[in-house]
Amino acid sequence: MNNNIDPKLNWLKNIPKRAGDLYFSLCESKGNAIHKNEFQAYVFDAGLTSIDFRLKNFFEMLDSMGETINFEEFINLMNLGGLLIERALRGELAVPDFKKFSNNLDKIYDEVIDNKSGELANYIPPLAEVNPEQFGIAVVTADGQVYQRGDTNVDFSIQSMCKPFNYCIAIEELGLEKVNEHVGAEPSGRLFNDLTLMMRNMVSENLSSDSKIPFNPMVNPGAIMTTSLIKSKSSTTERLNYVREQIGKSIGWDSEGKSGIDIPRFNKNMARQENFKGYNNIAAGFLLMATGNIPYSDSTLPKDKLANDKYDYDFYFEPAVTDALKVYFSLCSLEMTAKDVAVAAATLANGGVCPLTQQRVFGQKTIRDVLPVVQTSGMYNSSGQFFQEIGLPSKSGVGGGILLVVPKVMGICIFSPRLDLAGNSVRGIEVARKITSKYLVHIFDSTMTDIDRVDPRLKIAKWRANNCGEAIWAASYGDVRTLEKLLGQQRDLKYGNYDIRTPLHLASAEGQLDVVKFLLENGVKPIPDRWGGYPISDARNNNHLEIVDEFLKLDIDYSEPFHLIEEPNGKTDKIEKYDDELAIIEFLFAASENDVDGLRQLVAKGIPINVGDKDSRTSLHLAAAEGSLEAVKYLINHGHPLSVRDRWGATPLDEAIREKRQHVIEYIKELSK
Ligand code: GLN
């Protein structure tokens, strides 16, 4: 239970390599123990929280431990944390760089909070009286990573955000075919309270071809319609509670109360106000009755209940429609926190399984049927534009909430009550816009090769590696076909790696004349690398004279690279090889950006610490050249040798000296004493 693990203890031989690599990556230094506080910070940085009930036992055990964790204790902990903790530590959760992602969301929050435009919904007092300044962003990933900022734990009225869930629940109960008979899946391009119903142009046995149904379940007539289908034989209270429980399951509620999460609260006053002022919705309900959409049975007609007066009779409202309206008003009046809505959205993103409980709430097929309708109609009359711009299934409510679903990745809820003219939260829309301008999450971003934005599904270092790695390796191997493909994808082939070594540099160093010609013909310009060297120097140094001639044809004033090598004949340490070439590039990118988490996660996956790229550059060269002291320390503490030499013979210390990285120079010199 202390640090006294013998550094030479060959635990790597006796225990599974996987666990060993993970433990090694987390230790402060080789053969040492893990610091509990740091370990906890890694888990939190990955987006997992101590209130996550999946991790209850794990955190209890962690709490009971001393300041350091030895290997045996680590294995016990991992037995409780399971694959979830392991994946978190290896950077393999739905959003692997959760810390960076959170920092970016913080920035977005700080930018958007100044936007005070828009008006509160004012058609009923309980909405008109909310604090307009409220603002919260919550994100929950398919792996249950949680981000929260601002007012994410206050209840607010979900209003129309109930609609996707009602639609799911109706489909689960009756099947898509039946539901489709009553409500369409066509965008209406209309306001949520529009009373237009569309002509039905499909012929079915029961309905004539010109019967009318609501456009879709996201506008009010459609939502009232779907509500009328849910548990239609039960009392309104039972129906309301049934939906609360279904939504409850999607936010992690369980009937035994294990998770400590409650079903959505019902605001009765809100529902009554909706009822008092809800003439438009009442009209929509009766329209649905008139068009024969709301199912009811004639037997409920009170045939002999006539009033006594000879001129009077009891005015009759069919309960099928008043009940549907009552349940609809009630569902709009449910209250949830932004965090809970984000979990519910994550359940949709996760194919119907709540990421916090792993319970299936809706069938996969239901989700696949519902999300397209949310995508095309969820933002009312701005749905088309929203789809084009943001490209995510989204649903807003006049309570100020917007939920967004990034399929397979995450659910997002933004809450801020001031609304635009279409009834969508102003700040909510702005946040959504900023998220898509930073991250490749628009569903059609899969066709983009945009390197200014980042894919949240990938680690930053991996993302960078992907963007240059393939071209660089293809160039050095003479693989023109791959370069053709990349060019066709509009990849920027002049883009270099962490040393601004570009495909042209590598092709020149390796004597790949065809590649050099191909790149030049396609307009790729030679640019200087980290040392001011152009590809022509690589060709010259490696005696590839035909390539030198190619570059001389261009009208460029080539500077010479400056490499500093203090002791060319000094000691030389071994550089390791590794099969996964992209992982090497990723590792070196992480080192250059002082991304210690990125380094740690690759070490956890078993990458040799002193692995080198095509120029024999190692992570330590990069960390030293960039002055990334934390990365330098991590690498050296984990056994990176000091006297590795790159293609030109330079050691990491040479690099630090050349780039004048004083802290790094001092640190390495101190060690070499
Ligand atoms: N209760 C509101 C209504 O039916 C819901 C509308 C909304 O949130 N867009 O009018």
What is the tens place of the pLDDT at every residue in 438-478?
999 999 988 877 778 889 999 888 888 888 888 998 999 99
pLDDT at 1: 35
The structure's pTM equals 0.89
Cβ of residue 160 lying under 6 Å from some atom of ligand 1 = yes
Identify the residue with better confidence: 88 or 315: 88
SS3 141: strand
Contacts of 245 (CB under 8 A, 6+ apart): 253, 255, 263
Q: Which pLDDT tens digit goes with each residue over 254-265?
A: 988 888 899 999
Question: pLDDT tier at 9 (50, 70, 90 boundaries)?
Answer: very low
Q: Which pLDDT tens digit goes with each residue over 18-49?
A: 888 999 999 987 767 899 999 999 999 999 99
In ligand 1, the atom with minimum distance to the C-alpha of 160 is: 8
Closest CA to 413 of 334, 339, 509, 513: 339
SS3 415: strand
pLDDT at 4: 40
pLDDT at 596: 94
In ligand 1, the atom with minimum distance to the C-alpha of 274 is: 1
Identify the residue with better confidence: 196 or 502: 502
Q: Give the whole-angstrom CA distance, residue 63 versus residue 50.
A: 11
- Secondary structure E strands in 610-671: none
Q: Which pLDDT tens digit goes with each residue over 365-391?
A: 999 999 999 999 999 888 999 999 999
Across 13-27, 285-299, 576-590, which has the greatest mean pLDDT? 576-590
Cβ of residue 281 lying under 6 Å from some atom of ligand 1 = yes
pLDDT greater than 50 at residue 2: no
| Angle value at C-alpha 85, between 37 and 607, nearest 5 degrees | 90
Question: pLDDT tier at 306 (50, 70, 90 boundaries)?
Answer: low
Cβ of residue 193 lying under 6 Å from some atom of ligand 1 = yes
DSSP-assigned letters across all residues of 224-276: HHHHHHTTTTS-HHHHHHHHHHHHHHHTT--TT--S-PPPPEE-HHHHHHHHH
- Across the chain, mean pLDDT equals 91
pLDDT at 305: 56
In ligand 1, the atom with minimum distance to the C-alpha of 380 is: 9
Alpha carbon of 320 to ligand 1 centroid (Å): 20
Alpha carbon of 150 to ligand 1 centroid (Å): 24
Name which residue sits closest to atom 2 of ligand 1, judged by CA.
159
C-alpha distances out from residue 536 to 112, 472, 540, 565, 614, Å: 48, 16, 6, 21, 17
pLDDT greater than 60 at residue 552: yes
Alpha carbon of 142 to ligand 1 centroid (Å): 29
- Secondary structure E strands in 120-174: 136-141, 146-150, 156-157
Alpha carbon of 159 to ligand 1 centroid (Å): 6
pLDDT greater than 70 at residue 301: no
Phi then psi dihedrals of residue 263, to 5 deg: -75, 160
pLDDT at 208: 54
In this prediction, residues 324-333 reach a mean pLDDT of 97
12: Cα within 13 Å, side-chain hemisphere: 11
